[in-house]
Structure 1
Amino acid sequence: MGDWLRDGLFEAAGNVIDGWAWLSGKASAAVVNRAVCTTRNRPHPWSSLSDYTSWQGLTDRSYLARHLPAVDVPVQPPPEKVREIFARQDGHALLSPKSTCLFPAFAQYLTDGFLRTSPKDVARTTSNHEIDLCTLYGRTPDQTRALRLLSSDKGRRGRLKSRMVGGEEFSPFLYKPGTKELTDPAFAALDPPLVDENLPPEQRDTLFAVGGDRVNSTPFTSMMNTLFLREHNRIAAELEARNDGWDDERIFQVARNIVIPIFIKIVVEHYINHITPLPFALRADPSVAWNAPWNRPNWMTVEFSLLYRWHSLMPDAIDWPAGPLAPARQIGIGAFLQNNRPLIEVGLDAAFSGASSQAAGELGALNTALPLLHIEDRAVVQARKNRLATYNAYRVAFGMDRAMSFNDITTNDALAAMLEDLYGEPDHVEFYPGLMAEDRVEDSPLPGLLLRMVAVDAFSQALTNPLLSEHVWNERTFTPWGFDLIARTSKLGDILARNVQQRGPTPIEMTRPGWSYKDQ
């Protein structure tokens, strides 16, 4: 995606396209196909295993695929010098004109499910390479079993384990209060949470037993997982009521079948529609992929694992709402990590409302909060260890013109001068710094090359899900009721309204109130 989306056809006809279901489907399919075909389709000839094509490199998915072959980039400034192009210049965040904090909250939860670079070896991954909600259900059958209630009792079949706290349903706590002892021996099968080993007991006590080791990273990610936990259990209850003869196993499996496509619909129809600069809405139509030349098994790439480091989206502090157990307050971004107490204190509706009420940061250079700057260093180092090609090489690979000057990368003269000081010439700019230094695309929260790369992988990874395939996508798989529920769900607010006792007045949106194309 990029400049080609800004032509007159899309700009002028947006409202007309949205008003006609048939035309909307055709336009959406055209956008998806054109976006994915911006570059070469999978399978990729290279992986992070080696510099050359090999059978293991083509089949061993514990390594990451590559869009471009490994190279030794000629200029590698010290990471602490490169960090300067990410740091906020005056100590205050630049705010996005389009995005609320719900956008980075969902982005992190989505990508934590399939971008799982090994902390010990950046060439390896523990990903299933699918958008499969492993954050909720676990990556392995043993983990899934550990999270299930596994009850044959009427009124409890097909459920995931949960507990009530303050009248609201959450995942069980992982640890017994004041200890590192598990609340349930079955939880030993789960991936240990990626949190500070010296986490204070009062924070450790709030960690949830969940499918993903990154779910507990912030109240925002826990908020997302809690929403889909409740939706699974609500769907399981409805399936049990409608199918009296079904056992625990069948109810669980069909509920899972329904929740994953609902999640994918949110990815396309809420998340991607927020990202795109299009004036009409894209549709999550599985049939677009059935006969597409890009319909291939998923395999996450080294580049995709790096381009989603969107730390600049987070403001300096989170405006956390009031709830039954706490007043409204600001939580500094450094204190917003690895602590679910803010979510528990205010409840799910207030948390989603708060995220939807606050502007996110502007994505890009010169806007990463101080507590997160060290993570930018890791991204630069990770790219070098995986020997990623230069920024200009990726521009060309994704159908863009090569940057001939630093002002072709950014119109910010100060930033252009910083890049020149670091790299000397545009062809030497490294992938990750160049990606984040670009100007934001008009009407989108993303810069140009980043937008194109996200579009390629998002569409080609989401719409190829097995549950969306031609001979699976039917009422037999989901039941008529479940198939209809999937069709009626497009946004996170649809799910939230089904899973809280009382919905507040705040629209649950990634787009800021009052934002419009004509104002940009």
Structure 2
Amino acid sequence: MPSISLKRNVSVNLTEPDNTQISDSSSDDTKVTKRRPGLKKLFSSVQTFLGVPASTDAVIKETLNLPLEKKKLFLVTALKSFIDRNQPINDRENEFETVIDALSTLKSGNQEFINYITKPLVTQFYNDIPKPYRSYVGYNFRSADGSGNSVVLPDVGKAGTCYARTVTSFAHTNTNLPDPQVVFDRLFKRPEGYFDPHPAGINMLLFSMAVIITHDLFNSDPKNPTLNRTTSYLDLSPLYGNNEKEQHSIRTMSKGFLKPDQWVDKRLQFQPAGVGALLVVFSRNHNFIAQKLLEINENGRFTVGPNSLTEAEQDEQLFQTARLINGGCYLNIIRRDYIRVILGADATSTFNFDPFLGAEEPLYGNAVSIEFNFVYRWHAAIGQEDSAWLTEVMELYEKASEESLKTGNPVNMAKVFQEFNDLFIHATPEELQLGNAIAGLHRGQDGKFVDAGLSQTLYHKYEQVASRIGDGLNTPAALKHIEVAGILQGRKLQCCTFNEFRAKLNLSKLTRFEDFSTIPAVQQALKELYKTPDAVELYPGLTVEKMKPAGMHMPYTMGRAILSDAVNLLQNDRFFITENTPANLTNWGYDYTQGDPACADRVSPLLFKNILPGVFSEKELDNLFTAPQNP
């Protein structure tokens, strides 16, 4: 006799037409067996379960006139289709065909009942193809400007569009805001000769990576600070640029290669040398990938010749595929090195905080917000040596700014860079023609930086301990000009208050100034400058808030916000979800981005071994972002 297993531990056994036995196992394992008067009663129960209206009684009776076997199959199919409708369908059981066969034997005038039974099937068939459409053939490469990441809203996250707003402020406008220079002096400024090492021993290599990430996501237009000149995606735009003109400027236009050790974002020349050196590693990784793709030439997809690709088409295919794979390596380092450190996971642990859990196909794209522009300002973390270097650099800029105020002309950045080169880079005119500069490093005739110099720079950042981020009074004095500009930008763009931002993240508001910082001088300054905790501005609040006792020891709100942003950045990016496939990256490329299983699926050990072998030992590669004196 046929038997089916239903949800809620109910089994139905179809016996002879006049007897149906229903066995119900309840949650307390008590089994109750009842006799019911055959298929008529069972069919009536199905009628009730499906909500068939009473007007169809005649149709039900007509259905009962079907041959016995068809009635049985019909009941089995109906129950399984409606009770187990969320389960995968075994089409080899021919349930759909059974329903159609049974319904087709009904007499005329039964169309209402037929429609009732088949409507859920039609709905399921419609829903099999999701709407709106989220992926199109031919859209499997990133655009230069970030457009088209969402095929539904193609301009979301595009370079040159406005920042999003995460929190709308409903607080009364503060008409008595403190002088931003006083805010810096009393809440931000690191005392002269003072250095507080990072409590977890985090090194400046991690913060070199952080600089790349922040420059990847934020580049406010100085003429219109509502605009973000870079894309809202983790797409290595400091390397590849934000439009086709910038992108083509660093490409050889042959075999998918980039020009040796080149990148687009000129802002990084004014950063400590570790930032440029780390970006060069990604530049070289791109060329390593392009070469590997051509050597493997999976299924001949990069072949040039008749009935195949032209040389220009080969270059484009290799470049775009290598860019996707390089972006996958970048993603792997963010997931398995960077976020692990933020969370404080042990270097030897296999723990993986997976930001893709629960991810669905991206629909809306990503747009970074002005609030998170401030969340990622970690200037207080700058190490002792880098702080001294930045002091000298900023003196040049401040001198140029003073001249600009006197003359009324914009700052002459070409002149600033020339002086910067004379004092810190020492590059020849010929070297500068070969690409952007890195302080203290030189290019060879082939356009590449000397390996020994790159390795030494990166290792020095690995050894250099960063400083703490939270609690206030720890931002190098040299950055006053930048921080004051940041405070003013927040005011101009009508950012929410610190407590409003916390409320948006479902965090309790801070009600006492003692809840902000552990430093009494900061508590007193907040009280005098803002009068009430609800009036504290977003950026100052993020900067002075006390640190978490574990992990990367981030300020509480900043640490919470970073995780929210990381999950959205990754889950909203089509190229990290639906397009991150072996078909788009090739089998080798996809596997490369997955990392080394022997190293907790981290790609960073593979990357450094391929690009700069010997720069780090095996043990150091296990824990790249912690200074060696703090294992």
Instruction: Report the TM-score, using the length of structure 2 for normalisation.
Output: 0.59
Asked if 1:211 corresponds to 2:273, the answer is: no
Give, in whole Å, the separation in 2 of the partners of 1:406 and 1:501.
51
Give, in whole Å, the separation in 1 of the partners of 2:177 and 2:241.
38
Give, in whole Å, the separation in 2 of the partners of 1:73 and 1:392.
14
> 1:142–1:93: structure 2 CA closer, same or farther, 3 Å change rule?
same
**1:349 alignment partner, one of 431, 455, 459:** 455
Give, in whole Å, the separation in 2 of the partners of 1:132 and 1:432.
26
CA contact (8 A) 1:286 1:469 kept: no
**1:113 alignment partner, one of 202, 216, 220:** 216
Higher relative contact order, chain-length normalized (CA < 8 Å, sep 6+): 1
- Which amino acid counterpart does residue 499 of structure 1 have in structure 2? I
**1:499 alignment partner, one of 611, 616, 620:** 611
Give, in whole Å, the separation in 2 of the partners of 1:285 and 1:483.
18
Asked if 1:221 corresponds to 2:275, the answer is: yes
- Which amino acid counterpart does residue 233 of structure 1 have in structure 2? N
Deviations 1:54-112 (A, max 9, x none): x9x99997111111114533541001110121111353221102210112111011110
**1:406 Cα deviation (Å)?**
0.5
Residue aligning to 1:487: 594
**1:261 alignment partner, one of 304, 313, 328:** 328
- Which amino acid counterpart does residue 180 of structure 2 have in structure 1? P
Give, in whole Å, the separation in 1 of the partners of 2:605 and 2:270.
23
Alignment of 1:368-383 (within 5 A): 368-383=475-490
Residue aligning to 1:78: 179
Residue aligning to 1:512: 627
> 1:457–1:232: structure 2 CA closer, same or farther, 3 Å change rule?
same
Alignment of 1:119-518 (within 5 A): 119-151=222-254, 157-162=255-260, 170-171=261-262, 210-218=263-271, 219-243=273-297, 245-246=302-303, 247-278=314-345, 283=352, 288=357, 290-291=359-360, 296-318=364-386, 332-335=389-392, 339=425, 340-344=438-442, 346-364=452-470, 365-443=472-550, 444-470=552-578, 472-488=579-595, 490=602, 492-505=604-617, 507=620, 509-513=624-628, 515=630
Deviations 1:446-466 (A, max 9, x none): 100011111111221024322
Deviations 1:182-233 (A, max 9, x none): xxxxxxxxxxxxxxxxxxxxxxxxxxxx222323222222112100010000
> 1:420–1:300: structure 2 CA closer, same or farther, 3 Å change rule?
same
State the SS of the aligned residue for 1:161: coil
CA contact (8 A) 2:230 2:237 kept: no
CA contact (8 A) 2:241 2:264 kept: yes
**1:286 Cα deviation (Å)?**
7.5
Give, in whole Å, the separation in 2 of the partners of 1:89 and 1:371.
11
Calculate percent identity across the aligned residue pairs.
25
| Structure (1 or 2) with the larger CA radius of gyration | 2
Deviations 1:237-286 (A, max 9, x none): 11111116432222112111100111011112111111114566664757
Give, in whole Å, the separation in 2 of the partners of 1:214 and 1:313.
19
**1:296 Cα deviation (Å)?**
3.9
Give, in whole Å, the separation in 2 of the partners of 1:372 and 1:492.
31
**1:373 Cα deviation (Å)?**
2.0
CA contact (8 A) 2:204 2:466 kept: yes
Give, in whole Å, the separation in 2 of the partners of 1:415 and 1:433.
11
**1:343 Cα deviation (Å)?**
3.5
Residue aligning to 2:52: none
- In structure 2, stretches of 5+ residues that fail to align are 1-152, 304-313, 395-419, 426-437, 443-449, 597-601
Moved over 6 A (4+): 57-61
**1:126 Cα deviation (Å)?**
1.3
> 1:336–1:291: structure 2 CA closer, same or farther, 3 Å change rule?
same
- Which amino acid counterpart does residue 303 of structure 1 have in structure 2? E
Deviations 1:128-156 (A, max 9, x none): 211111111111122222211112xxxxx
Give, in whole Å, the separation in 1 of the partners of 2:625 and 2:258.
28
State the SS of the aligned residue for 2:466: strand
Residue aligning to 1:204: none
Count matched residues.
398
State the SS of the aligned residue for 2:231: coil
- In structure 1, stretches of 5+ residues that fail to align are 1-54, 152-156, 163-169, 172-209, 319-329
Please give the root-mean-square deviation of Cα atoms over the aligned residues, in Å: 2.7
Give, in whole Å, the separation in 1 of the partners of 2:355 and 2:525.
45
